[in-house]
Amino acid sequence: MSRRIAIVEDEPAIRANYADALRKQGYEVVAYADRPTALAALRTRLPDLALIDIGLADDIDGGFALCRELRALSASLPIIFLSARDSDFDIVAGLRLGADDYLTKDVSLPHLTARIAALFRRGDLLSAPPSVEDVIERGPLRLDGKRLTAYWAGKRVDLTLTEFWMVHTLAKYPGHVKDRDSLMRDANIVVDDSTITSHIKRIRQKFMALDAKFDCIATVYGMGYRWNPGEV
Amino acid sequence: MKSRRVALGIRAQLLLVLTVFLAIPWLGYEYVRELERFLRDAQERTLAGTAQAVATALHDRPRLFEAAPVLGNTLATERTPAADGPPVVPAVAPPPAPAGQRSAEIEQIIQGLSRTTARIWVVNRDLDVLARAGTLKGARTPSPIPADATLPRLWQWLDQLLHPFYALVLKQPTEEFNEEQSGRILLPAREIDGALAGILTIDRRQTPDGKAVIVSAAHPIWVGDQVRGAVIVEETTNAVLAERNRAFERLFSIVLATLLIGSVALTLYASRLSARIRRLRDEAEAAIDEHGRVRGAVAASVAGDEIGDLSRSFSSVISRLSQYASYQQNMASRLSHELRTPVAVVRSSLDNLRLSPLPDETRVYIERAQLGLNRLTHILTRMTEATRLEQSLGDAERERFDLVKVVAGSVDGYRIAYPAKTIVLESPGDGIPVLGAPDLIAQMLDKLVANASEFAINDAPIVVRLTRIEESSEAQVRLAVENEGPPLPLAMQGRLFDSMVSVRSEHVGNEPHLGLGLYIVRLIAEFHGGSVRAENRIDGRGVIVTVTLPEASSSQL
């Protein structure tokens, strides 16, 4: 049974292009132009993944409202925001509403499909036993490359895909400085430097919520970031 | 920069205009003199009337003039004791001679006609005084200004204050005059001569001591066709004088008070006007800084007059100016936002195209389109950088960090990023604590070094210099980036750090230039409480951009 992806996007050309691309990948795609029709259709049958634009025509924050409603219908439905808006405020707001990822429209279709595939994989494997290969352990940090999940001292750290890939890149070679370009490449995003800075800031905050003394991600000014092995 | 010198302020101008009203006292003086003339005429007419009335009572009574006079016959003189004594009446005086009885008869007649303020004489043709009544000094002199309880206190006070002045300027009526010369009262010879010639004659004369003026009227007494005697009525001008003085004093006091109150009111009004105008000027000057940037708004006044109107129009001009400035600053970000959707359409279409089966020769075009699109995306990202930075500055956290370490680390990075350039770091050995965001400082240095490397001529080194300056109150740190290269055009020096201002000519590189780099530098410097300026090197062969930041004091964490 093919997976079903819902696209809610007000721009017809983009909607059609994304739908075409995803269909080529073998997904079943349903596309909606605004919030009411999308919500009406999705209530009757939930998709396997939702791709939502924030601004829906005149409904400036329609995507946010839709995300909240979908999250209320299902706690596990993967939701991705895909928006032209790239301010920290929008990103934080989107992720707080329970979205699994936030992408700007600069993302290329191959990057997008890679993310969608990764999200499905994470959902599929979450219940399966952890495979031994593809697991990185760095002190208290445990990264499961298959399920795309991170653990700190045994507790799960709730990272988005972008954040997970960044941590993965840094932790793979502790002590090596990763510049912003390589972080972007590995996380499959195209953003400016300050967005990387705010991603790193959010990752630190998520780890510090579990361990106030967390300081494994060091800033190397003028170059990038580095994973400090830490004293543990 | 501003000349605050005002040659003649509004207050001074208004007071100058007020001097026109100084003509009022002069006008008043002219008016009072006219009044005096009128009163004198009236007095003369009254005296003439009295003389005529007395004469009328004595006409055609030849019997009265037959007797010889008792009171001596010298040329119209009389002894003083008699003048002061009570009227000679038969009851009091010893039985007089028949002639005296006749005189007493005349006296009885004129006694009835006499007034308190006048003296009446009756003489015969030989200038013998037949009778006399009244006295000059008995005239009641009205007090200069009657103390009126209804007058305002201020008024009385002003009167008291001015009284010595009036006494000096105006001639005061007095009862202290002396009309005697060597013990005799002189009768006005000219009037008597005129009257005895049959003509009503009026004249005035000064008392011998010059202290009073006496007005006298003489009327002939007819018996048949013959003039048998004359009636002379005399009065001092004291009453008129007192009246005149009173009028003048009153007028002068009113004018003075009006002028005083007027100038105080005008001065207050002018002060208020000029204060409002000065406040408006200060607000207008404060609203725009020396670079022409709108700093604040002018509060629109609610006053309904022209100054209020001016203030409102200033306010709206400034707010329009600031709207325009913010429109200009946000234009880049809005433009990029608007462009993102069509770019996404192109990108997703290209991606789809790439996934379709296409002949190989078309691949190269797709690649080229992709390259162009990437550049376009890069430009859009750069365009939003300043806006994103402005947003993130709002909630950026400040921490205490070592500026030397951050700068040194960054310079290491630039040596890798710009392998073709020599980058020299000059910094003090020990650390410099600064309060702020190290990420932002690094971002600021990125812009400065990128800028410098672009303008530096081939192998000249870029110098990053960090110095501490200990000035009077607080320690500051100066971060300078210097490169050898073309100097800044003079006209641009003040505006370089504004949004979308660039001195680059078109040919430089293939990076997009939106003039946002130095604007970002300024935002970050200001976020740290510092400032930035760009200037040409003294030798004119290079440019130094200097960021001055306050050093964190030991108490700040």
pLDDT in tens, B177-218: 776 665 556 666 777 788 888 888 888 888 777 778 888 888
SS3 of residue B341 by DSSP: helix
pLDDT score at A7: 93
A55 neighbors A10 (Cβ within 8 angstroms): yes
- Is B92 in the A-facing interface, judged by CB distances under 8 Å? no
B406-421 average pLDDT score: 83
* pLDDT reading at B72 higher than 60: no
Instruction: Please list the alpha-helical segments (H only) found in A25-160.
Output: 35-44, 62-73, 88-96, 109-125
Q: Which fold has domain B396-550?
A: Heat Shock Protein 90 (3.30.565)
The pLDDT tens digits for A100-122 are: 888 888 788 888 888 888 888 87
More confident position, B92 or A163: A163
What pLDDT score does B388 carry? 73
B438 neighbourhood in chain A, CB within 8 Å? 219, 221
B389 touching A, CB under 8 A? yes
Question: Cα distance from A4 to chain B (closest Cα, Å)?
Answer: 19
B81 compared with A194, residue with greater pLDDT: A194
**Strongest mean pLDDT among A16-20, B65-69, B78-82, B511-515:** A16-20
Tell me which chain A residue has its CA closest to the CA of residue B348: A17
Band of pLDDT at residue A19, cut at 50, 70 and 90:
very high
Contacts of A205 in chain B (CB under 8 A): none
Taking an 8 Å cut-off on Cβ atoms, the answer to whether B347 and A106 are in contact is: yes
First to last CA, chain B: 40
- CA–CA gap between residue A17 and residue A36 (Å, rounded): 22
The DSSP call for residue B19 is G
Q: Smallest CA–CA separation between A126 and chain B, in Å?
A: 31
Least confident of B363-372, B451-460, B519-528: B451-460
Which fold does the domain B306-389 belong to in CATH? Helix Hairpins (1.10.287)
Predicted complex ipTM: 0.78
With a pLDDT cut of 70, the percent of chain B lying above it is 79
B472, B453 Cβ separation under 8 angstroms: no
**B526-533: long-range contacts, CB 8 A cutoff, minimum separation 24:** B527/B393, B527/B396, B527/B436, B527/B437, B527/B440, B528/B434, B528/B435, B528/B436, B528/B440, B528/B441, B530/B476, B532/B497
Picking from A86, A78, A79, the residue whose alpha carbon sits closest to that of residue A107 is A86
Tell me if A14 and B446 make a contact (CB, 8 A cut-off). Answer: no
Q: What is the mean pLDDT of residues B521-529?
A: 87
For the beta carbon of residue B328, count every other beta carbon within 10 angstroms: 12
State residue B82's pLDDT score.
37
pLDDT per position as a tens digit, B415-441: 877 888 888 888 887 788 888 888 888
Looking only at the bridges linking them, the beta strands covering A79-83 and A28-32 are unpaired
Residue A30 confidence (pLDDT):
93
Q: What pLDDT score does B99 carry?
A: 44
- Mean pLDDT along residues B327-340: 76
The answer to whether A24 contacts chain B (CB < 8 Å) is yes
Would an 8 Å CB–CB cutoff place B347 in contact with chain A?
Answer: yes
Is A194 in the B-facing interface, judged by CB distances under 8 Å? yes
Q: What is the mean pLDDT of chain A?
A: 83
Which residue from A109, A171, A127 is spatially nearest to A145, judged by alpha carbons?
A171
Residues of A in contact with B413 (CB under 8 A): 220-223
Taking an 8 Å cut-off on Cβ atoms, the answer to whether A88 and B443 are in contact is no
Q: In whole angstroms, give the CA distance from residue B351 to residue A113.
A: 11
Check pLDDT > 50 for residue B100.
no
Of A86, A88, A105, the CB nearest to B344: A105
Under the banding of pLDDT at 50, 70 and 90, the label for residue B555 is low
The rounded distance, in Å, linking the Cα atoms of B178 and B210 is 9
Q: Which residue of B has its CA nearest to A13?
A: B345
Query: In the Cβ-directed half-sphere of A62, how many Cα atoms lie within 13 Å?
Result: 19
Within chain B, all domains assigned CATH 3.30.450.20 are found at 14-256
- Tell me what pLDDT residue B115 has: 60
Contact check, Cβ <8 Å, B410/A21: no
pLDDT digits (tens, 9 = 90+) for B336-388: 778 888 888 998 898 888 888 888 888 888 888 988 888 888 777 777 777 77
Q: Does A34 touch chain B (CB under 8 A)?
A: no
pTM to 2 decimals?
A: 0.55
- Per the CB < 8 Å rule, is A21 touching B406? no
Which chain A positions have a beta carbon within 8 Å of B330's beta carbon? none
Residue B533 pLDDT greater than 80, yes or no: yes
A21–B contact, CB cutoff 8 A: yes
Contact: B416, A223; criterion CB under 8 Å: yes
**A198 to chain B nearest CA, in Å?**
9
Out of A182-186, B66-70, B230-234, B287-291, give the one with best mean pLDDT. Answer: B230-234
> Looking at beta carbons, which residues of chain B come within 8 Å of A198?
392
Does B336 or B142 have the greater pLDDT score?
A: B336
Nearest to B293 by CA among B494, B493, B448, B530: B494
Residue A151's DSSP bridge partners are A142, A156
Walk me through the domains of chain A, giving residue ranges and CATH numbers.
4-125 (3.40.50.2300), 135-227 (1.10.10.10)
Check residue B92 and give its pLDDT.
28
User: How many CB atoms sit inside 10 A of residue A144's CB?
Assistant: 19
A221 touches B at CB < 8 Å: yes
Q: Does B445 contact chain A (CB < 8 Å)?
A: yes
Q: What is the pLDDT of residue B414?
A: 83
**Are residues A5 and A116 in contact, defined by beta-carbon separation less than 8 angstroms?**
yes
**Mean predicted confidence (pLDDT) in B267-281:** 89
Q: Looking at this protein, which amino acid is placed at residue A21?
A: A
Please give, rounded to a whole number of angstroms, the shortest distance from the CA of A95 to a CA of chain B: 17
Contacts of B346 in chain A (CB under 8 A): none
Q: Indicate whether B411 pLDDT > 80.
A: yes
Which tens digit of pLDDT belongs to each residue from B242-265?
Answer: 888 888 888 888 888 888 888 899
Lowest mean pLDDT among A146-155, B72-81, B238-247, B528-537: B72-81
Contacts of B377 in chain A (CB under 8 A): 106, 190
Measure in Å the smallest separation between the Cα of A132 and chain B Cα atoms: 35
Contacts of A14 in chain B (CB under 8 A): 341, 344-345, 348
**Which pLDDT value is given to residue B85?**
36
d(CA B212, CA B217): 17
Of B343, B391, B414, the CB nearest to A89: B391
* pLDDT at position B467: 87
Residue B72: CB atoms within 10 A of its CB come to 11
B14-256, what's its fold?
A: Beta-Lactamase (3.30.450)
Portions of chain B given CATH number 1.10.287: 306-389
Any B CB within 8 A of A39 CB: no
Instruction: Go through chain A and tell me how many residues it has.
Output: 232
SS3 A230: coil
pLDDT bucket at B141, cuts 50 / 70 / 90: very low
For CATH 3.30.565.10, the residue range(s) in chain B are 396-550
Q: How far is CA B169 from CA A50, A224, B155, B164, B260, in A?
A: 107, 99, 20, 9, 21
d(CA A138, CA B4): 71
3-class state of residue A128 by DSSP: coil
> Measured between CA atoms, how close is B493 to chain A, in angstroms?
28
Q: What is the mean pLDDT of chain B?
A: 76
Using a pLDDT cut of 70, give the percent of chain A over it: 91
Question: What average pLDDT does range B31-55 have in this prediction?
Answer: 88
Place A15 in a pLDDT band, splitting at 50, 70 and 90: very high
